[in-house]
Amino acid sequence: MARSSNSNSSTGQSDDMVRDKQALLDRLKKIEGQVRGLQRMIEDDRYCVDVLVQVAAVKAAMNKVGMVLLEGHARGCMQAAVRRGEGDQSVNELMEVLDKFVK
Q: How do residues 85-101 score in pLDDT, each as one tens digit?
A: 999 999 999 999 999 98
The CATH number covering residue 79 comes to 1.20.58.1000
CB 81 within 8 A of CB 8: no
Cα distances (Å, whole numbers) of residue 47 to 9, 91, 100: 53, 44, 32
Whether 9 is covered by a domain: the verdict is no
User: Is 1 a residue whose pLDDT tops 60?
Assistant: no
pLDDT, position 8: 42
pLDDT, position 20: 85
Beta partners for residue 7, in sequence order: 14
Whether 94 is covered by a domain: the verdict is yes
**What's the mean pLDDT in 38-65?**
97
**What's the mean pLDDT in 55-59?**
97
User: Which range of residues forms the domain containing residue 32?
Assistant: 15-101
Q: Which amino acid is at 84?
A: R
